[in-house]
Structure 1
């Protein structure tokens, strides 16, 4: 058994070749320097175009990778074709081993996907975890394989749409696949399960959540006495600060 992320799969064949140039993000400052532009809308549009391309299954940068800002009414001093042309130039600089332009892990993963890797000779079964939160590049890598495939995920737990994630569990390729539903949990009891089911039902879920954990209880107002320890979950940092104060 071998457990790896998609980026780890890409590392051995591509990532290590760019190890000395890897950064955590594609920075606007680097793009501005490379394009010799002080038009920050132009620079940001190039950044978004490159990101969109690296999250797509396409072999080259196209007009559809340009962000929607180019389709709006914002006054601009550049065209979509100019953005595509400049993005292509930066992409070729990124993949050039002799260049010094910074690269990111998503670029290495994109190169791995473009190489059309075959994993069937290494693995009998591929278990694709968190399948609801993978981008189209990872989809393409997985769905190209001819080995047995098991996918695990929960559409209700998708949190990376802002990074191009698409729910692979609903891919047309899986229309005839066998599906099993993990509806029982030992993490909570019936009360929490009922609340969870009510909330998920509002989002169209029809399968009943079943709590198999210890007996639990829901409080509308938490009593000040009798609870020496309590945990407060917040959706935002501001919520955490507000609870602490």
Structure 2
């Protein structure tokens, strides 16, 4: 699998619902490219990701992976192609080594450590009591939010998926850790098909394609500069985030 994702005239609504969640959505995301999805709450951002992962099937149109309708691919095989780094980090009660290795259970210790280095996590792990063998407690309260995020990035790097889904995850970390997270995510996205659910528009200026959603429709799409030149909805959102600056 290469990882080209195409939405072809996709419509979706929940069973028995009268109103569509998405209406006639079309775009293509290719390997090595980043597709950012922006819009207000309820605009359909998460629904696009849920359809790619087949948590739901489309009501109309089709989602294709490398030209194949994803309804012809087993869900388990489809989801193996994905790595996810979400705002809500998930770690379990176990060692740091075990938590990173969850990305690929047959990985060696050296491979886990290499993934941690790529995620800029090795430096803080070695400073913890026990290092990679330190046990994360049930509430994961013995490491910081930023450290948790770097561990989930290391886990995704170890899995080496074809497609990445990134829900911006730097809103609750300090500036220094945010820099590490951004650098780790950029390294992880190299040569992958990447989707970013964007909240802060400053973080997606380099995206290859930005989809602007409003009430289930793509109202604008293009690069950052193209969308600013339209002087439309995207520009008003961008200006509103920076008016104080």
- Larger-Rg structure: 1
- Structure with the bigger percentage of strand: 2
- Structure with the bigger percentage of helix: 1
TM-score for both structures, normalised by structure 2: 0.25
TM-score for both structures, normalised by structure 1: 0.25
